[in-house]
Structure 1
Amino acid sequence: MALRKTWAVALFGVDGALVEIEADVRKGGLPSVQLLGLPDTALQESKNRVRAAIQNCKEDWPASCVTLALSPAAMPKTGTSYDLALACAVLAGAELVPPHRLAGTVLFGELALDGRIRPVRGLLPALLTARREGMRRAVVPADGLAEAHLVEGIDVLGAGHLRDVVAWLRDLGELDRRPPPDAEPPAEDDAPDLSDVLGQPEARWALEVAAAGGHHLLMVGPPGTGKTMLAKRLSGLLPSLTVPEALEVTAIRSIAGDLSESATLIRTPPFVAPHPSLSIPALIGGGTGLARPGAVSRAHRGVLLLDEACELGAKRLEALRTALEEGEVRLARRDGTLRYPARFQLVLATNPCPCAPARDLDCQCPPQVRRRYLGKLSGPLLDRVDLRVRMRPITAMTVQAGAEPEGSAAVRKRVENARAAARQRWSAHGWQTNTEVPGPVLRREFALPAAATALLDRGLEVGAITARGADRCLRVAWTLADLDGRDRPDAEHVAAALEFRDRRAA
């Protein structure tokens, strides 16, 4: 009998920490199993799962006192991904398997009672943590092998049963290390095309500006005018994700349990459109113990559409403020504080009033009812929305000859050119889009001439916009200049950006 150790990873949001599992198997004393290190209920029950799995694999469970310690001891441990590491620690401590292959190896997997290794959530961010901590090798469930191979720089082995891992530790067999076949990326033609939307020239232009600069957008108009159709086509105008961005998005999907067995790196910007009846934890993130990502995090690097926004209620909408400003959410729960990235483009779509007639002249709502309805979109929230547009009623269902609506491909090309210009300009600072640039930088290092900002200064003087609103106007002005192929905005670009913030549009 000996003291042996294995390795696992504890996840806290998208962040992880390496966990050292020590197994002390003593010769004397009454047979017992103690699990130390702040395990939650699911992890505490792993003692019984591990014992049954080892015995059903025709291995001997030590008839002595077994102490399992998970370090750092003061850090809460949750979930069932520790089962395989615990089983290997017990077998090594009982000297049933040699320990040489456990050095530098991190193990993941939930054990069934018959020894099968089941997949676990969060495999991708856990492997990124293991690689960062210098681990050389990882043993993962066979069903998670495709996801595990997304991480480079660490030797990944797949196992479907505890017997396979025991044979590998005894040098009697090898684990699966074959990378899965490359999956075909989804065709761009499958995305909804902008040519499907009739009319709405102002909304189309606002959508293009939003895609080019990463700006938030509010569309107000009667039902059936194309608000939802336009919003669903925004993600098709965005460029593909870079490799670091794709890893972030895929890691969040892994934690949420949304990845399939044939997982591939997600290179297309996500589009998330929750139902208006969703709860605040479903929107921001939450749950008992350690919280899981919500809709704002699942839309990271993509688009979050809140259709019928005024039906969500003020509390849900106000919960978005921090995420819009900081690009992440921090969830304080009983077991700790988690951080989830949430740098998304918000698209709000709403009717102008509860009765929502096709024409404003047919509205039956008293003025106070309209004010109360749109008042759910508070001033501080609207101050964080860069673009506001009023939708026009559709007046014709036929398309005139020579007036075919412009498709997504042509708009995407202009968006890519504008984003390339912004990326080149801000590359020294590490920013990708105009919306990420802090206001002080725009006012100092990239200050515009007084003639260009005269209208903006006038708006601040009369109280038409706030200081935050002025910064957002400057960001939109830089985006408009990028779309025009200019080196810097002029007075016309600033005026157009200020017009996008017209309160009458809301």
Structure 2
Amino acid sequence: MSDIGRTSAVALVGVQGSLVEVEAHLTSQLPAFSIIGLPDTSLGEARERVRSAAAMADCPLPARRITVNLTPASVPKRGSGFDLAIAMAVLAAAGTAPGADRGVVYVGELGLDGRVRPVPGIIPVVLAARAAGIERVVLPVGNLTEARAVPDIALTAVDSLRSAAIDAGADLPAGFADPVLPPPVPDDALPSLELADVVGNAIGVRAVIAAAAGGHHVLLLGPPGAGKTMLAERLPALLPDLDPDAALEVAAVRSVAGHGERSWTARPPWEAPHHSASAAALIGGGTGQLRPGAVSRATRGVLFLDEATEFPRAVLDALRQPLEAGRITVHRAGGSAEFPARCQLVLAANPCPCGNAGSTGGTACSCVPSAVRRYLGRLSGPLLDRIDIRVAVPRVTTGMLRADEGTTPTTDAARRTVLAARSRMVERLRGTGWTRNAEVTGSWLREDGRAAAGATDLLDRGLDLGTLTMRGWDRVMRLAWTMADLDADDRPERRHVERALALRTAL
């Protein structure tokens, strides 16, 4: 005599989910419980959690041999989120929960007391279930708020295995457990800061507004106290809200990273790791479940590296490929995972170890030339070549304060300018798959995106003389298009190219 029960679950690799069929086979042999299908250690321990939770839910497992198969076996399965699906498959095979079937995805960790505990990564799990044609997901109460970010799929929240079994037709008296809720996650959003607070730094303000409008990467180079961090922290407030697709992509990454109910946000994210961060912390990794790094958590938003020259060069160079591709694939011995990495990089750095190189007046630079070269050499040429805006931010003097007083736009005014420029970009690039000037290719710039006649003479001369690379030519022209959009002009003129070149003066 043998019986089979089937339910569905989702295996996560990075932020991508694969539908997994959970089969439970009961046979009339000596009692045993085994799980096959490439489970990891934590999933293998589900046997004891399921057995104890079923007993506490008044539906103990039958005294028979239980074999649970997770198929396809080639997909790695990690974590305790399969507990509920395994328990429901066994109860379906035993006839206790006849309504449990493969058309419903179950997700949740079981406690020994029978309660269902929330798990990280619920948003990509629900997205994968919807993509596979599943119409309903049964999940922990503690994940319900987070999962509601995914539209067009039915969600059923359960507080315990008993509730899930009753939902699947088990003949059990109704009972309510104290639901397990996730711990509160502090709000990591950067408060909206006022751009008008920045005074005496007109070049820095222009750089930040241009970066917000065109999606360009930025390097701010200047001595301590010049206002580099102040400028960078005002960039997120200038960016437009995320569209629904982008917000869902951000929420999926934040869900895997454990942000819980704060996974969903309409605002571009902000990440500012310390300069002691490792390459794995920046690009992602881990020994078990692969986790997104700072470059992925900042996708569709801003990754700010303060004191960039204090980061090891190898750590900074690890950003080169994701900045170009917009995605990062993390490879480890146990497998690989792909994460989105479509962020704006903002670097802030001192010009030398003492910070005074190039300053006029005040304390003179005490660094020998070789020390300055080594210090700035941590910003490699290939990395700098990917940065459109590179400006020197000088120390503010009283003369600069008086000349600039009252001229810096407010955050609201600058954001309106940025939104108008973005709307021009979206209209012009409709149908190309791009939405920002920083994304366009060189071929587009030389064909549909040609500048006005004579506008590129300066760049062409630099290309001929070898002072400008072809990639550099493209970078300047992308920035020139942003200058034209900020001025509401149809095509870049010579003045726009000159302004773009003026924002590439540092290094």
Q: TM-score band, normalised by the shorter chain?
A: over 0.9
SS in 2 for 1:257: coil
Task: Name the counterpart of 1:274.
Answer: 273
- Counterpart AA for 1:429: T
Shift of residue 490 of structure 1? 1.4
- Counterpart AA for 2:123: L
Post-superposition Cα deviations, 1:31-84, rounded to whole Å, max 9, x if no partner, equal: 111211111111111111111111122222221111100011111111111000
CA distance in 2, matches of 1:165, 1:16: 23
TM-score, with structure 1 as normaliser: 0.93
- Determine whether 1:447 maps to 2:450: yes
Shift of residue 175 of structure 1? 10
Task: Name the counterpart of 2:336.
Answer: 337
Post-superposition Cα deviations, 1:201-226, rounded to whole Å, max 9, x if no partner, equal: 00100111000000000011110111
Shift of residue 190 of structure 1? 4.3
- Counterpart AA for 1:110: E
Query: Which of 123-132 and 166-175 deviates more?
Result: 166-175
SS in 2 for 1:428: coil
Post-superposition Cα deviations, 1:259-312, rounded to whole Å, max 9, x if no partner, equal: 23xx46310011111111011100000101342100000100001100000000
Q: Decide whether the 8 Å contact of 2:96 with 2:170 is kept in 1.
A: no
CA gap 1:102/1:331 in 2 versus in 1, 3 angstroms = same
- Counterpart AA for 2:392: R
- Determine whether 1:387 maps to 2:410: no
Runs of at least 5 residues in structure 1 that lack an aligned partner in the other structure:
177-185
Q: Decide whether the 8 Å contact of 1:290 with 1:338 is kept in 2.
A: no
Query: Which of 416-425 and 191-200 deviates more?
Result: 191-200
CA distance in 2, matches of 1:248, 1:393: 39
CA gap 1:235/1:372 in 2 versus in 1, 3 angstroms = same
Task: Name the counterpart of 2:222.
Answer: 221
- Counterpart AA for 2:489: R
CA distance in 2, matches of 1:339, 1:209: 30
- Determine whether 1:310 maps to 2:309: yes
Post-superposition Cα deviations, 1:230-273, rounded to whole Å, max 9, x if no partner, equal: 1011000001110101001111100000123xx46310011111
SS in 1 for 2:430: helix
SS in 2 for 1:389: strand
- Determine whether 1:254 maps to 2:255: yes
Q: Equivalent residues in 2 for 1:97-496 (5 A)?
A: 97-98=97-98, 100-170=99-169, 190-260=191-261, 263=262, 265-357=264-356, 359=359, 362-396=364-398, 403=406, 405-449=408-452, 451-496=454-499
CA gap 1:385/1:402 in 2 versus in 1, 3 angstroms = closer
CA distance in 1, matches of 2:283, 2:23: 37
Shift of residue 498 of structure 1? 2.5
Post-superposition Cα deviations, 1:77-116, rounded to whole Å, max 9, x if no partner, equal: 1111100000001111112221x34341101100001111
CA distance in 2, matches of 1:437, 1:259: 35
Q: Decide whether the 8 Å contact of 2:200 with 2:405 is kept in 1.
A: no
CA gap 1:169/1:266 in 2 versus in 1, 3 angstroms = same
CA distance in 1, matches of 2:223, 2:372: 13
- Counterpart AA for 1:377: L
CA distance in 1, matches of 2:211, 2:97: 59
CA distance in 2, matches of 1:206, 1:367: 28
CA distance in 1, matches of 2:176, 2:464: 70
Shift of residue 496 of structure 1? 2.2
Q: Decide whether the 8 Å contact of 1:289 with 1:334 is kept in 2.
A: no
CA distance in 1, matches of 2:459, 2:70: 58
CA distance in 2, matches of 1:484, 1:326: 29
TM-score, with structure 2 as normaliser: 0.93
Shift of residue 449 of structure 1? 4.9
CA gap 1:404/1:465 in 2 versus in 1, 3 angstroms = closer
Shift of residue 447 of structure 1? 2.6
CA distance in 1, matches of 2:328, 2:401: 46
- Determine whether 1:500 maps to 2:499: no
CA gap 1:175/1:204 in 2 versus in 1, 3 angstroms = farther
CA distance in 1, matches of 2:350, 2:114: 56
Task: Name the counterpart of 1:32.
Answer: 32
SS in 2 for 1:17: strand
SS in 1 for 2:155: strand
Q: Decide whether the 8 Å contact of 1:4 with 1:89 is kept in 2.
A: yes
CA gap 1:422/1:141 in 2 versus in 1, 3 angstroms = same
Task: Name the counterpart of 1:15.
Answer: 16
Q: Decide whether the 8 Å contact of 1:111 with 1:118 is kept in 2.
A: yes
CA distance in 1, matches of 2:137, 2:290: 26
CA gap 1:329/1:189 in 2 versus in 1, 3 angstroms = closer
SS in 2 for 1:2: strand
SS in 2 for 1:421: helix
CA distance in 2, matches of 1:458, 1:223: 36
Post-superposition Cα deviations, 1:313-347, rounded to whole Å, max 9, x if no partner, equal: 21111000001101110111223221100111100
CA distance in 2, matches of 1:305, 1:107: 38
Task: Name the counterpart of 1:55.
Answer: 55
Post-superposition Cα deviations, 1:91-144, rounded to whole Å, max 9, x if no partner, equal: 11112221x343411011000011111111110011011011110111010011
Q: Decide whether the 8 Å contact of 1:157 with 1:175 is kept in 2.
A: no
Q: Decide whether the 8 Å contact of 1:158 with 1:175 is kept in 2.
A: no
SS in 2 for 1:69: strand
Task: Name the counterpart of 1:79.
Answer: 79
CA distance in 1, matches of 2:16, 2:415: 34
Q: Decide whether the 8 Å contact of 2:254 with 2:263 is kept in 1.
A: no
Root-mean-square deviation (Å): 2.1
Across the two proteins, how many residue pairs are aligned to each other? 490
The percentage of counterpart residues that share the same residue type is: 48
Q: Decide whether the 8 Å contact of 2:199 with 2:404 is kept in 1.
A: no
